[in-house]
Every structure is written in C-alpha cells, then in structure tokens.
Amino acid sequence: MDYFAHPTAVIDEGSNIGAGTKIWHFSHIMPDCTIGVKCNIGQNVVISPGVILGNNVKIQNNVSVYTGVTCDDDVFLGPSCVFTNVINPRSAINRKNEYAKTHVGKGATIGANATIVCGHNIGAYAFIGAGAVITKDVPAYALMIGNPARQTGWMSEYGHKLSFDAEGNAACVESGHKYKLTNGTVTRQE
C-alpha cells in the first residue's frame, strides 16, 4: 500500500488510489473510484463509486463526492461543500440511472458550504465562493458568489481577483502572471 489510510477509514475493494494520497478519519472510499497521486481526503469524506479525482486534489472535512463527479488535477473542495447527482430526487423513486455528470476543471476551488447542482461544468481555475449555489456552467477563471451564484469577476491561478484594464489585460498580484480577457473569456498569457 503506497498511500496512507487512517485506521478508521473504510476502503472498499476495487478502488484505485494513487501513491502518496492520505485518507483521514472516518472517510469512506467506495468501489470503482479512482483517486490520483498525492491527494488529501479529509475527515468524514465519502467518495462514491465511479468518481474520478485527478492528482493533488484536496478535499476538506465533511464532503460527499457522489457518482457522476470528476475532478481534474489540483482541485480544492472546501469544508462541507455539497455535490448533487439527481435533479429531482424522491425517496420512493429510484433514479440511479439518471445521475447527471459534474466536471470540475484543473485548479478550481469550491468554497466551504457551497452547493454544486449536478449537470454543470466548472471551468479550470474557477473560484466558487463560500456558500454559493451553482445552478449553471461556470467559465474558466470565473469568481462566483451568492445564491443562486452570479459571476462577480475573474480569479488568477493563484487565487487573487484580477483587475482588467481597458485593453483587457491584467496581472496576478502574487505571481505576476499576465491574463487576457477577450469576448468574455480569460486566458493566461505565456
């Protein structure tokens, strides 16, 4: 075993867990999920069957990642954030064949207590504020807050709000990386 699992964690057979990953207290890794290398799975986390997590994904305490969710590398899932996988759940009606997919792009952050309604994609390096409720697709680098969430700006790959000039240019205050805003799309300039 080239990953760490706390003795209280439950790891079902049939999962693929990458080297250097840490799985903490009372977490449950269900069958047929894939967890990349050097991930950190916090306390009381459930990873459901078929979930795919990239490398270096960090999941804070009390998060359930349900079937239908995929996360690219370097995703951060804040404490108690919520994913759904059925649009219209009812206890008396089995809708396991109706799971909607949710994809979280590389480097995206989902803040504490945010809710991601299923069937929506979250772009690379998007930043979902604490308590936000996502009800539509989120563009790459977008800053989303509120319920329902609305876009209030753009974020750098280092997690700082970008201020674009009249020509659509901005720089991250921490990294100095340059970004371009063109027709509602942000790209990082090399």
pLDDT, tens digit, 9 for 90 and up, residues 141-165: 999 999 999 999 999 999 999 999 9
Does residue 105 lie within any of the structural domains?
A: yes
Q: How far apart are CA 51 and CA 31, in angstroms?
A: 9
* pTM score above 0.85: yes
Which residue range(s) make up the domain with 115?
4-161
Q: How far apart are CA 31 and CA 54, in angstroms?
A: 17
What does the radius of gyration of the chain's CA atoms come to, in whole angstroms? 17
Does residue 167 lie within any of the structural domains?
A: no
- The pair phi, psi for residue 96, each rounded to 5°, is -60, -25
Does residue 142 lie within any of the structural domains?
A: yes
Does residue 178 lie within any of the structural domains?
A: no
Closest by alpha carbon to 60, among 125, 130, 7? Answer: 130
pLDDT, tens digit, 9 for 90 and up, residues 17-70: 999 999 999 999 999 999 999 999 999 999 999 999 999 999 999 999 999 999
Q: Total domain count for the chain?
A: 1
The answer for 52, left when phi > 0, alpha when psi is -120 to 50, beta otherwise, is beta
C-beta of residue 114 within 8 angstroms of C-beta of residue 133: yes
pLDDT, tens digit, 9 for 90 and up, residues 3-15: 999 999 999 999 9
Does residue 61 lie within any of the structural domains?
A: yes
C-beta of residue 85 within 8 angstroms of C-beta of residue 103: no
CATH code at position 56? 2.160.10.10
Residue 96, SS3?
Answer: helix
